């Protein structure tokens, strides 16, 4: 299973094409749109989230509520394109108009300058329109399809915020279903009500100061059988795939599983998870310090992964940069106004993790027809229980 996305931030639409989805999977456009709307929420989002109402249209690959096994196309229209048609239209324009609209001042922390150097763009709008986090809407569309597959296989995925601007949420002992409910009700998507106001205040203060703040998101996956992934090659290790997926999200700079970097400060006896067996559960671990992975494969324990998001680099008190035409110093321009996107990023991360888990499952089990995939995984669960 794989996907491609297309579209620019202020272009006509975002498009996602997904190939390799099993036939006869129940799927509605509402399964996708629900996730897209979740991505737009969160304390600290900018004005554009009120302009765009992301709703998906399924253009191919689904008939009468079931997938066909052929490529599936999702389209999200950009409602704001009507205000950008002169700037983002595909038709040629006069050189005098081009010059007026050129962006020659790269913003520190963005892809502007590096992308211009790579592709030879003198107008850096050609870079920033595609490098924008708006593209994550298309990735959430793909991830919501992956979540649908996992849900039908009794595998649950939830993402939430663990930290904003150094304000850390305590661990909360809740079922994964309850975690989904609680995070959805929180404006900052945290499970700890004791830090919710402090997080909101930090976001408001950053906006007041013309600054931005980052944080940490956590995603948990429950219901995975043991042995998914592989130790045989580096690119088949599921934790490696998840780590790569998470760091591919805009502004994410680090990943950890289970106790993560804390393992460097502990003895081996305090890190590794002892193996137990019972007739009801089969093999399981006494603890889950390794976050559900050993040797690049699932252990059957919950997958627990955290991602670090840096502060958004566009600031109302901008940093110094250099104009690529004049080579003169200047203060960077403002292209968007979110002071904190960590709550929304937790939704993106949730869907990115879901995608990597689902595609790895589909590689490991026969998946041309969804009912056969489901049966194969049920048979495998039974097999390893009594192994």
Reported as a single tens digit per residue, the pLDDT across 137-165 is 999 999 999 999 999 999 999 999 999 99
Burial readout 74-112 (b: 16 or more C-beta within 10 A, e: otherwise): bbbbbeebeebeeebeeeeeeeeeeeeebbbbbbebbbb
* Residue 229 DSSP label: B
Q: Is 48 annotated as a binding residue?
A: no
187 labeled part of a ligand binding site:
no
Main-chain phi, psi angles of 136, to 5 degrees:
-65, -20
Q: Is 231 exposed, middle or buried (0-12, 13-18, 19+ CB in 10 A)?
A: exposed
> Which residues make Cβ contacts (< 8 Å) with residue 268, sequence separation at least 6?
none
250 is in an annotated binding site: yes
Give the start-end residues of each E strand in 258-361: 275-278, 282-285, 293-294, 297-298, 303-309, 320-322, 329-331
Consult the annotation and say whether 186 binds a ligand.
Answer: no
Specify whether the CB–CB gap between 358 and 150 falls below 8 A.
Answer: yes
Residue ranges in the chain modelled with pLDDT below 50: none
Helix 342-364 vs helix 29-39: angle between axes, to the nearest 10 degrees? 140
Helix (H) or strand (E) holding 145: helix 136-152
Q: Residue 229's Cα: distance from chain center in Å?
A: 20
Q: Under a CB-based contact definition with an 8 Å cutoff, are residues 171 and 224 in contact?
A: no
Q: Is 288 annotated as a binding residue?
A: no
Query: In 3D, which of 353, 384, 351, 380 has the Cα closest to residue 364?
Result: 380
Q: What is the pLDDT of residue 52?
A: 61
pLDDT, residue 210, reads 87
Please tell me the distance from the alpha carbon of residue 141 to that of residue 85, in angstroms, as a whole number: 25
CA dihedral 225, 231, 237, 238 (to 10 degrees): 10
pLDDT at site 319: 85
Q: Of the candidates 152, 212, 192, 197, which has an alpha carbon nearest to the alpha carbon of residue 371?
A: 152
Task: Tell me the C-alpha distance between 278 and 177, whole Å.
Answer: 25
Query: Are the C-beta atoms of residues 153 and 377 closer than 8 Å to each other?
Result: yes
- The whole-angstrom separation of Cα 378 and Cα 223 is 12
CA distance 198 to 352: 28
Q: Is 248 annotated as a binding residue?
A: no
pLDDT at 98 (0 to 100): 64
Please tell me whether 189 is known to bind a ligand. Answer: no
Instruction: Say whether 281 counts as a known binding-site residue.
Output: no
Predicted pLDDT at 385: 93
The strand pairing partners of 190, in sequence order, are 161
Are 302 and 257 contacting, i.e. CB atoms less than 8 angstroms apart? no
Tell me whether residue 131 is annotated as binding.
yes
Residue 70's pLDDT is 98
72 is in an annotated binding site: no
Residue 100, annotated as binding a ligand: no
Provide the 10 A C-beta neighbour count for residue 62: 20
Q: Is 359 annotated as a binding residue?
A: no
């Amino acid at each position: 299973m794989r996907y491609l996305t297309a579209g620019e931030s202020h272009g006509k639409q975002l498009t996602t094409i997904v190939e390799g989805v099993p036939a006869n999977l129940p799927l509605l456009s509402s399964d996708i749109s629900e996730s897209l709307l979740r991505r737009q929420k969160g304390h600290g989002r900018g004005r554009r989230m009120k302009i765009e109402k992301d709703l998906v249209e399924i253009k191919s690959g689904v008939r009468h509520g079931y997938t066909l096994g052929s490529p599936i196309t999702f389209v999200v229209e950009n409602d704001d394109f009507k205000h950008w048609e002169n700037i983002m239209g595909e038709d040629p324009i006069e050189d005098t108009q081009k010059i007026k609209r050129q962006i020659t001042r790269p913003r520190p922390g963005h892809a502007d300058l590096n992308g211009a150097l790579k592709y030879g763009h003198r107008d850096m709008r050609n870079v920033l329109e595609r490098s924008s986090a708006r593209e994550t809407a298309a990735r959430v569309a793909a991830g919501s399809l992956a979540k649908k597959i996992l849900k039908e296989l009794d595998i649950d995925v939830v993402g939430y915020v663990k930290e904003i601007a150094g304000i850390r949420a305590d661990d909360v002992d809740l079922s994964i279903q309850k975690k989904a409910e609680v995070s959805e009700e929180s404006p900052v998507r945290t499970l700890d009500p004791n830090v919710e106001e402090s997080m909101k205040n930090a976001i408001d203060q950053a906006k007041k100061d013309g600054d931005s703040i980052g944080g940490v998101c956590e995603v948990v996956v429950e219901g995975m059988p043991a042995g998914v992934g592989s130790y045989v090659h580096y690119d088949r290790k599921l934790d490696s795939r998840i780590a790569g997926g998470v760091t591919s999200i805009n502004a994410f700079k680090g990943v950890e599983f289970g106790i993560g970097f804390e393992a460097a400060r502990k003895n081996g006896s305090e890190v590794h998870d002892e193996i137990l067996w019972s007739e009801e559960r089969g093999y399981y671990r006494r603890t889950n310090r390794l976050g559900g992975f050993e040797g690049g494969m699932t252990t059957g324990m919950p997958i627990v992964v955290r991602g670090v998001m840096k502060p958004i680099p566009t600031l109302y008190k901008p940093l110094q940069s250099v104009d690529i035409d004049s080579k003169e110093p200047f203060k960077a321009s403002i292209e968007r106004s979110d002071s904190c996107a960590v709550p929304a990023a937790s939704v993106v991360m949730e869907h990115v993790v879901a995608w990597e888990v689902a595609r790895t499952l589909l590689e490991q089990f026969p998946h041309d027809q969804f009912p056969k995939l489901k049966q194969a995984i049920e048979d495998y669960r039974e097999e390893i229980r009594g192994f």
